[in-house]
Chain A
Amino acid sequence: MPGSYKIPEDGAVQPTFYSGMCKSGDISPHVHPDEAMAVLIPCADRHRLNVVTCQDDAKEEDLADVGGLDLMDVRLGVSGTALPEFIPIIPRGMFRRQGCEIPSGTVGIVLNDILTKKISSKHGRYQWPKGSKVNRKVLENSAFQGKRVILFSTGPDVLIETLWWDRRGAGLFNTIATMGFAAVTGMNFSVISGECPFGHALNLKKSLCYCKELDELGVWTIPHIYAINDRQRERWKKWLLANPLVGVVTINTQLQRKQSHGMNEVFRTVRFLLKNTSVDIIIHGRAKGVLDGLHRKFGKRLHFAASGPLKNALIRKDKTPAEYIEAFRCQIKASSRS
């Protein structure tokens, strides 16, 4: 497993070559010193490439921007209603289809598909298309008529980091709050193992702040949870127990689409949250190999969201959207039995 490092359960932490240079442990309790032991990429001289590290000159500005790293500062007050087991995500190419073709009262949409111009790839990298903005009228498309729509605020870093950075200038929260979404999930800011844990903590807080801003505007928000070690899982547990109105959280598994071993960490987090809190969990993306026995024990608290079935219906055209959705449901049931 390239670049992997696990904090052992017995607490006997082995430092890596770069862990001694990471100063994240100084900001305990928001980062436990053990987390710095897992650093595999030097924190200095990153020039904010993909992540803000503990040794970034401007990190105080980032801390001020989110009111510090303490998750407990965030209280969410808007609660939601029951969700179905499967939430199909409607891709942009299907927006003009009739809603009755998609047999689900609750559907999803992703951030990239509410933009006037999608993220494009140039020179082998994603780039934010100049002039792109949120299309306020996207839910007027026929595919969404008569449905509850959840905005899954997930996507590539280039997308979510750009939207987050310009959130105030672009009036992002007011725009989203007035578009008619039934719920909006937190943004899935990256938490990559081996990177500076200060960056992890900052990204987790950013995701919660996104929820907080929308919650204050009366929107039901579904916090997005990433946790790659037990310390982070404990912090989420503490936060969830202090926020009893949060009934549902979501975990995006886009990076695990082609990596079955990566799902182990996701399932560890899912198992932990199901056992130690009362939240329901929406697994967004890959769901294969779901949890030995967890589905049987906690099935009613597990939900799945995916764009795959409707994308397949759109591209392959060999089955109807309803048939692809049914096939996905069967796949979930079959994998939970295995």
Chain B
Amino acid sequence: MGSGNKRKGNDILHINRPQKSADGGDGCGCQKDINQMCPPAFDVGIKLKRRLPNETAVTRRGNDLFILGEFVGKLSTAHVKIITECGGEGIHYTARLLNKGEKSYARFVQNT
């Protein structure tokens, strides 16, 4: 990317471990790209009973999502998979409320 004192804020990734084939030789191209497996951010649709400001913290208990102690939605199996698998790689997410027009989302962003 470059050389200097500061990285660009939008050019962030996790460096994959080198690929290896079964015989330890050249890479086979079959290993998962951790940056595809663990996206920088993803949105989960939620339902609010009352309008709340953007950036309000969203908490998770199991597959359920809460804002200020109130149930607002559930994580899909795919989202649970992302959070679980990436957690195993040391990549964790924090969720905040994002309002887009009439709809609301929990935006999960990697902690970096």
Contacts and interface: CB of A to CB of B under 8 A. Distances in A.
B5 A262 contact: yes
A49 B14 contact: yes
Given A158-B35, A169-B28, A169-B30, A255 B1 contact: yes
A240 to B, nearest CB: 17
A252 B18 CA distance: 25
B4 A192 contact: yes
Contacts of A156: 1, 8, 10-11
Interface residues of B, number: 39
Interface in B57-112: 89-91, 107, 109, 112
B18 to A, nearest CB: 4
Interface string A42-79: 00010111111000001001101100000000000000
Contact of B39 (A127, A188, A228, A252): A127
Interface stretch (A159-167, A298-306, A307-315, A328-336): A159-167
A256 B4 contact: yes
A64 B6 CA distance: 29
B45 interface: no
A188 B39 CA distance: 24
B6 A2 contact: yes
B14 A166 contact: no
B41 interface: yes
Interface string A115-127: 0000001111111
A184 interface: no
B87 to A, nearest CB: 11
Interface in B17-53: 17-20, 26-30, 33-36, 39-42
Contact of B12 (A50, A265, A266): A50
A53 B85 CA distance: 22
A259 B89 CA distance: 35
A128 B36 contact: yes
B7 A192 contact: yes
Contacts of B35: 127-128, 158, 162
Contact of B6 (A130, A165, A192): A192
Nearest to B40: A125
A188 B20 CA distance: 23
A292 B70 CA distance: 65
Interface in A205-231: 226-228
Interface of B: 1-20, 26-30, 33-36, 39-42, 89-91, 107, 109, 112
Given A50-B7, A155-B1, A192-B2, 11 more contacts: A127-B40, A157-B12, A161-B16, A162-B13, A165-B18, A165-B19, A188-B1, A189-B1, A192-B4, A254-B1, A265-B4
19 contacts: A4-B5, A47-B91, A48-B15, A49-B12, A50-B7, A52-B15, A58-B17, A62-B18, A156-B1, A158-B13, A162-B13, A162-B35, A165-B33, A167-B27, A168-B28, A169-B27, A192-B4, A192-B6, A193-B5
